[in-house]
């Protein structure tokens, strides 16, 4: 459990919700979960990442991830958002600058079992203590490697530029994955 910096650098939750909601498109429990993860991260020394200072590993592709993209700067396009398709609401964030990592894992809350509307759930989440919503632990500093910039090669079949690591050698031709899949049938 991380209790340091209590009361220090508190982020305004309304500001964060506004920013995340503009990016995501609507207010929902998922986006609140992501906002709470981002808020915790920012308050504990994982500041917004213009480049690859932070890297986030997420285990779902639901609404919550958009809040991380909007607020932490861990984005799909920069390659510092790693998606593992485990269907879990777990969020691991590493800071390459501070050489540290933290993992937030969504717990089942008391209101999960009750029949609450989407709006009620948003309100309940925003009113809760972060420790009641997530298991939070520091993790060993072990971030995935930085995104690589690769040369592009023209696919011999469709002539489209393709990252070299995604080119398949097949019957003396260099093929992109969709062309290879068509040919090997």
Which parts of this chain interact with Zn ion (CB under 5 A)? 28, 30, 63, 155, 157-158, 176, 179
Report in angstroms how near the CB of residue 145 gets to Zn ion at its nearest.
27
Report in angstroms how near the CB of residue 63 gets to Zn ion at its nearest.
3
Question: What count of other Cβ atoms lies within 10 Å of the Cβ of residue 177?
Answer: 12
Spatial distance between the Cα atoms of 122 and 100, rounded to a whole number of angstroms: 30
If the CB atoms of residues 63 and 133 are measured against Zn ion, the closer one turns out to be: 63
Report in angstroms how near the CB of residue 113 gets to Zn ion at its nearest.
22
If the CB atoms of residues 38 and 176 are measured against Zn ion, the closer one turns out to be: 176
Which has the closest alpha carbon to 39: 77, 20, 63, 13?
Answer: 13
> Do residues 80 and 56 make contact, with C-beta atoms less than 8 angstroms apart?
yes
Bridge partner list, 88: none
Report in angstroms how near the CB of residue 69 gets to Zn ion at its nearest.
13
- Name the maximum alpha-carbon separation found in the chain: 63
If the CB atoms of residues 55 and 122 are measured against Zn ion, the closer one turns out to be: 122
If the CB atoms of residues 62 and 105 are measured against Zn ion, the closer one turns out to be: 62
If the CB atoms of residues 130 and 158 are measured against Zn ion, the closer one turns out to be: 158
Report in angstroms how near the CB of residue 126 gets to Zn ion at its nearest.
15
């Amino acid at each position: 459990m991380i209790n340091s910096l209590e009361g220090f650098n508190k982020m305004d939750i309304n500001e964060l919700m506004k920013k995340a909601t503009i990016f995501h498109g609507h207010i929902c429990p998922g986006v609140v979960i992501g906002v709470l993860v981002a808020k915790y991260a920012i308050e504990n020394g994982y500041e917004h990442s213009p480049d690859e200072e932070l890297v986030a590993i997420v285990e779902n592709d639901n609404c919550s991830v958009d809040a991380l993209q909007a607020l932490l700067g861990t984005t799909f396009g920069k390659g510092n958002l790693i998606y593992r398709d485990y269907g879990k609401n777990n969020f691991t964030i590493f800071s390459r600058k501070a050489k540290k990592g933290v993992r937030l894992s969504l717990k089942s809350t008391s209101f999960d079992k009750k029949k609450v509307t989407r709006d009620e759930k948003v309100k309940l989440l925003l009113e809760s203590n972060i420790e009641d919503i997530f298991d939070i632990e520091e993790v060993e500093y072990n971030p995935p490697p930085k995104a690589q910039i690769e040369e592009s090669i023209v696919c011999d079949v469709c002539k489209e530029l393709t990252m070299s690591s995604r080119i398949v050698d097949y019957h003396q031709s260099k093929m992109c994955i969709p062309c290879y899949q068509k040919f090997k049938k």
